[in-house]
Structures are given as C-alpha cells and as structure tokens.
Amino acid sequence: MAKIIPFKAVRPTRAIVGLVAARSYQSYTIDERESRMHYNPYSFLHIVNPGYKYDQEVTGKERYQLVKNRYEEFKEDGVFITDDKPSIYVYKIVNRHNQEFNGIIAATSAQDYEKDIIKKHEDTIAKREQTFKTYLQTVGFNAEPVLLTYPDNSVITEIIKETQKGYAEFEFTMTYRDTHYLWKIDNEETIAKIQQEFSNMETIYIADGHHRSASSYLLYQDEKEKNKNHNGSESYNFFMSYLIPESDLVIQEFSRLVKDLNGLTKEEFLIKLDTIFRIENRGITPYSPSKPHHFSMYLDGEFYSLYLRKTIYNFETALDKLDAQLLYKTILEPILGIHDLRNDNRIEYVHGRHEMITIKNSVDSGKFKVGFGMCPATVQQMKEIADEGLTMPPKSTYILPKLRSGVTIYEY
C-alpha cells in the first residue's frame, strides 16, 4: 500500500519564485547557463553551478560542498522560506500547448520503492545512482521531485479542485511559456484523507526520475545502517515526488537517427527490411505513423511507411509489443548492428512536434543516413512493462510534465 507524508517545504518567496525556478541543469547549453546566471542572481542555477562565482569549473565532492554553501546563502538572504507546518502541496502546470497537469507534491516512501509498490520501467546506471546518492548526502536537500503517476482517484481529484479554489501560494510563468501554480494543504484532516486514498493503492509508477528514485533508496539504506536509533520516521526514509493521475500524464515518442547503413547499400537495406515489413514509398511528403507497429522511415530523400508483417514477430511479453523495442529487435540490432542503444555513437534521438522535419533535415545534411519515427507508448504499456518486471529501451518515452528545480525543496 502506497505511503505518502506531508513535509515542510523550503521554497522561494512569492515575489521571486519565477526568477529562482530553473530547468534541469543538463537541459541548458553552456551559453544558456552562462547568460541566465549573468543576468539573474536568483536563479537556482547559481546553487547547482557554484563555481560560477569564481569563474571556475568545480567537480566532485568539492562541488557538492559548494552547492551546500550556496544553498545556505540563499536561505540566509531570504530567497527561500521554510513552511511552519508539514504540508502536502497541490501543484498545477499549464504548458504553452494548453496541456494541464494537476497533482500533489508530497514525500514518498523509500521502503515502497524497495517493496516494488513504487514500480519502475527504466534501467538505471549504477555509477549515476551512487554519484547522486553522494550528492544528496553532502548537500542535504533535493530540489526536483520525482514524477510519479497513480490511478485516477475521484476523492483526490475533488480535494485538488477544492484546494485550487483558494488563494495560490504562488503563480508564475517561465520563458518556455508554461505557468506554474502552488497551493498548500496543511489541514491534518484533509491530509489524512489523501493518505488514506494512497494507502488503498497497491501500486504507483515512476514516470520520470528513475535515477533520483534509485539514489534516494541508496541514501535510505546508508543512513538507516548508520543510525543505531533508526525508527522509520527520519527524513531519509522518504523522497520528494510530484504525483499526478494517469489521465494527466502525457507520453511522447523519441525518433531515431542512424549515421550509416552498417555497410549495406540502400537496395540491400530495403530488401532486408522487406522480409519483416510491408514497405511503401511515400515520396517527398512527410509521413508519420498513426498505429502501433507502423513506422515511418526517411532514407535518401524519400519517406517510407513500414508495416510489420505480423507472422514474422512474436509478442510474448508486454515489452515485445512496445514499438521502441520492436524497432530495436527487427532493424537497429540485427540489420544496422546497433547493440548498445545507450552508448553507441551511431544513433541519436529526437523528439518534438516536428520531429519528422528534423529527421529529414538531419538526413539531408549528410550527418545521418536514415531516420525512423513511431507512435508514442501508452500509459497502459508503461504499467504493463513495469508490472512484468521488465524495462524499456533507452529513450522510449518523452514524458510530460517537465518539472522545475528549486520550487519546492525537501531537506534530509
């Protein structure tokens, strides 16, 4: 049964929250980061990139200690405040495409991760898990929630709607034109109702944030082992999450670009594809697939549709039915010789509303030889794969909403 608890969030003041909030550090180019830090002294990027103050690149544990120092300075300067009472936070995002996401920010249980009540659908890299665990132990806080999804629940939905009728703690719009709202629930009776509904859920699912979840679990294991008086209520037993209903979750696809045909001519490549797919040349008109197990391909100035020959491929697991896995097992690995989707530099990934145009331009430029598009995975597929204890290939899903760092902070 899923367990959530309220916590005392550290968060920016209403007046400057829009200046503090930042995308994940890796999503910025170097020039973007430099520009934002130069013109905005309140950006959370100053905390996670503390060497900027000295015009110096700092790495490892030295960087982690400076991150902690910068964070404490923001608190001392009144940029951050700490709520007086443990709370659950209703959080709403409306993006530039008018997609709306409504959920709650709360602390979720590391034991639930251990017991597979919180389920994952992606593999994690052990080195990254350990690195972020060390980071958390040093800095003592987490500033970006894990994105979790739960079955639609009428009681929680009604509480969210009622809360949103009241005064928002803040409302701000980012340069990406998505608007964020936060309301605070500190009424103990209302919190208990929310907790009861989650306690009735057998499973909730990680949508985005697999490494943060895994690192938080490692932190829990370490701190529990060191604490002779461990009682299960310590802050390290939990990690901050943004929980949204399944109907609010949006999954988009990643398309694939490959740099060569693995030594094959165009004709040889098409003949090999013909044994697995029914192929139609669509000419110069951009084509995007509309059904599962249909793919688009751009090769040598022309678009193609690829329809799987169903007698060729067996669906034995939920993973087998995933188009990203199907593309890997039928084309990328056996024909194009790409075995390691995470590290092979012959393959790259693109997403977005105009990804087929991006694929065309990338192939036409000569940087890539062929590109593939597919339909996005569904929430049901993600759940079924997680339920079977399987994991998706890398870059199988691009999940919305994308969260901001520094809006609510969970201290250990």
Q: What is the mean pLDDT of residues 386-402?
A: 94
Integer angstrom CA distances of residue 59 from 26, 90, 107:
15, 35, 29
**Is the CB of residue 317 less than 8 Å from the CB of residue 325?**
no
* CA angle at 293 for the pair 290 and 299, rounded to the nearest 5°: 80
pLDDT at 321 over 90: yes
Residue-wise pLDDT for 232-245, tens only, equals: 999 999 999 999 99
pLDDT at 123: 86
pLDDT at 53: 86
Q: Is the pTM of this model over 0.85?
A: yes
Q: Which residues of 284-302 are buried (b: 16+ CB within 10 A; e: fewer)?
A: eeebbbeebbbbbbbbeee
Report the SS3 class of residue 90.
Answer: strand
H helices within 4-44, ranges in order?
17-20, 30-39
Q: What is the mean pLDDT of residues 335-360?
A: 90
pLDDT at 26: 81
H helices within 255-341, ranges in order?
266-274, 323-327
pLDDT at 376: 94
Report the SS3 class of residue 370.
Answer: strand
- Residue in 239, 106, 88, 84 with CA at minimum distance from that of residue 159: 88
H helices within 227-332, ranges in order?
266-274, 323-327
Q: What is the mean pLDDT of residues 185-210?
A: 97
Instruction: List phi, psi (to 5°) of 21.
Output: -55, 140
Instruction: For domain 254-396, give the CATH number.
Output: 3.30.1760
Cα distance between residue 68 and residue 204, in whole Å:
32
pLDDT at 328: 97
pLDDT at 310 over 90: no
Beta-bridged to residue 250, according to DSSP, are 400
Cα distance between residue 90 and residue 181, in whole Å:
8
Residue-wise pLDDT for 21-31, tens only, equals: 999 888 888 89
Residue-wise pLDDT for 129-170, tens only, equals: 999 999 999 999 999 999 999 999 999 999 999 999 999 999
pLDDT at 25: 82
Percentage, residues of the chain above pLDDT 90 = 87
Q: What is the mean pLDDT of residues 7-24?
A: 96
- Residue in 321, 275, 266, 322 with CA at minimum distance from that of residue 297: 266
pLDDT at 228: 94
Cα distance between residue 209 and residue 294, in whole Å:
29
Q: Which pairing describes strands 250-252 and 302-308: parallel, antiparallel, or unpaired?
A: unpaired
Task: Domain ranges for the chain, please list them.
Answer: 4-250+400-411, 254-396
- Residue in 313, 323, 300 with CA at minimum distance from that of residue 371: 300
User: In which band, very low, low, confident or very high, does the pLDDT at 353 lie, cut at 50, 70 and 90?
Assistant: low
pLDDT at 313: 83
User: In which band, very low, low, confident or very high, does the pLDDT at 196 lie, cut at 50, 70 and 90?
Assistant: very high
- Residue in 220, 247, 243 with CA at minimum distance from that of residue 5: 243
Percentage, residues of the chain above pLDDT 70 = 100
Average per-residue pLDDT in the chain?
A: 95
